[in-house]
């Protein structure tokens, strides 16, 4: 059975900026990556689309889905799901939480990627990380749907937020993504509604690449940073 990873994205473009490199890298290694987009970001993260004449909420959602599907295809996503839970504010019910628990138990991800714990600029992102981690813990609970196999303990990696310092986010994992940078950039360019972020996230990748190169002194040009929730358990310290 292939390795699997789960990416829980509040809005339909977040997974591209924040984890596109990790997704493409693991997909290229044969991992099956599932991306759950809990909302389209139709109200709060679609400003350019709203400037077009005659725009409606349904049209914005349709455009956003089209963009995210195109990006997912470029990155090699195995399964992308759109749950349409609304944004600004996102509505996260227990029904949705149990639905996410089912996803965990269905794919048994080896790795989970989601948002930072804090974000004073965006209330949906911290709500979603709490939701994704709550679902993970529920999927580990033996008393929840006891006939099913419980989830193990996949590590959780928190995406880089837009303003890391204000979000109390500090990377302790740097992933070199040189081999898949072209794919990440192509996926970024699928996000026509947020063109103002293309260069910004290219600079972020260069910055994390420079840091990644500095630490092991390897030649790395592009990177992604993550903050891990749990300690890394290792066999040796070397």
What residue ranges bind Zn ion (CB under 5 A)? 10-11, 14
| Minimum gap (Å) between residue 231 Cβ and Zn ion | 28
Q: Toward Zn ion, which CB reaches closer, 14 or 178?
A: 14
- The CA-based dihedral angle spanning residues 110, 38, 88, 74, taken in that order and rounded to the nearest 10 degrees: 80
Question: Which C-beta is closer to Zn ion: that of 11 or that of 61?
Answer: 11
Q: For residues 204 and 210, what is the distance between their CA atoms, to the nearest angstrom?
A: 10
Whichever of 14 and 42 has its CB closer to Zn ion, that residue is 14
For Zn ion, give the closer residue by CB, 13 or 220: 13
Cβ nearer to Zn ion, comparing 40 with 222:
40
* Strand 79-82 to 173-176 pairing: unpaired
DSSP string, 58-118: HHHHHHHHHHHHHHHHHHT-SEEEE----SSS----HHHHHHHHHHHHHH--SEEEE--S-
Nearest residue (beta carbon) to Zn ion: 11
Sign of the alpha-carbon dihedral angle for 164, 15, 205, 171: positive
> In the bound complex, what is the minimum distance in angstroms from residue 67's beta carbon to Zn ion?
13
Please report how close the Cβ of residue 12 comes to Zn ion at its closest, in angstroms. Answer: 8
Distance in Å, CB of 153 to Zn ion, minimum: 27
d(CA 228, CA 231): 7
Closest CB 197 distance from Zn ion, rounded Å: 11
């Amino acid at each position: 059975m292939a390795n699997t990873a789960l990416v829980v994205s509040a809005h339909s473009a977040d997974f591209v900026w924040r984890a596109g490199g990790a997704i493409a890298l693991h997909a290229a290694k044969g991992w099956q990556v599932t991306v759950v987009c809990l909302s389209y970001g139709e109200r709060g993260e679609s400003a350019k689309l709203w400037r077009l004449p005659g725009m409606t909420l349904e049209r914005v959602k349709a455009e956003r889905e089209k963009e995210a599907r195109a990006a997912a295809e470029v990155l090699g996503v195995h399964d992308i799901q759109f749950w349409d839970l609304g944004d600004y504010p996102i509505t996260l019910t227990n029904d949705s939480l149990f639905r996410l628990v089912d996803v965990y138990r269905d794919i048994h991800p080896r790795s989970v990627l989601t948002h930072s714990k804090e974000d004073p600029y965006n209330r949906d992102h911290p709500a979603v990380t709490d939701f994704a981690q709550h679902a993970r813990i529920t999927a580990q609970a033996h008393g929840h749907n006891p006939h099913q196999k419980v989830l193990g303990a996949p590590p959780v990696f928190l995406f880089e937020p837009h303003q890391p310092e204000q979000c109390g986010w500090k990377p302790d994992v740097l992933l070199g993504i040189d081999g898949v940078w072209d794919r990440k950039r192509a996926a970024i360019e699928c996000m026509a509604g947020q063109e103002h972020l293309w260069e910004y996230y290219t600079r972020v990748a260069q910055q994390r690449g420079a840091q990644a190169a500095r630490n092991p002194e390897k030649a790395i040009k592009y990177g992604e940073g993550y903050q891990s929730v749990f300690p890394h358990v290792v066999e040796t310290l070397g």
